[in-house]
Amino acid sequence: MEGKEPTRARLAILASGSGSNAEAIMAHFADHPAVEVAWVGSNRKGAGVLERAERHGVPASTFSRQAMQEGELLRELAERRIDWVALAGFLLQVPAEVVDVYTGRMVNIHPALLPAYGGPGMYGHHVHEAVKAAGEPRSGLTVHWVTEQYDEGAIVFQAEVDLDPADDADQIAQKVLQLEHAYYPSVLEGLIAGWAERLPDGQPKSGT
């Protein structure tokens, strides 16, 4: 009798904007033997990430800040049997109950070298403008565990890129984005693979 097919780990992506990082993740895990992107969630009805999810055949839906605070996000994750959560340009603070359930299984990507240029208000172009204003010789990305505080979780991975003094904030943003697309999907893959290997029978278990 043939053995059961391994259960793939179910990954959710949360994003608020256009979703280029989310698309890089969806492309990376398309037809992956051990991981599937099972849902894309956004707090903005017109977010570009929703169209990207549709193109990749990934279920997607939206929720309001209030609904999230009232438990909608946690219910969605539970009903969809999500194992891992990746934040990719998600601008809302994740509720404490979601952090509690997904501690050690939820990561965020930040477009700077934390702990510099992190915290409330430091997102998107605001980060790159601050880096430019400070005359930094380099910037980069940080992947870190999600906690109840913005950008304060333990750092998982960082990658740097040199900046030219002539680079403006847009050029800095583009250099950092290229790093994000190159590294975030593979960092996620490694984290999820390590988690699966630690399970009792070596197979991912869906659900919270």
| Catalytic site positions | 110
Token pair, residue 186, equals 């593979």
Rg (CA), the chain: 17
Phi, psi of 36 (to 5 degrees): -130, 140
* 183 vs 158: CA distance, rounded Å: 9
Which helix H or strand E contains 80, and what residues bound it? none
In the three-class reduction of DSSP (H, G, I as helix; E, B as strand; rest coil), residue 37 is classed as strand
Angstrom CA distances, 75 to 68, 72, 79, 132, 175, stand at 9, 5, 6, 41, 37
* Residue entry with tokens 């998107």: 124
Asked if 89 and 19 count as a contact pair (C-beta separation under 8 A), the reply is yes
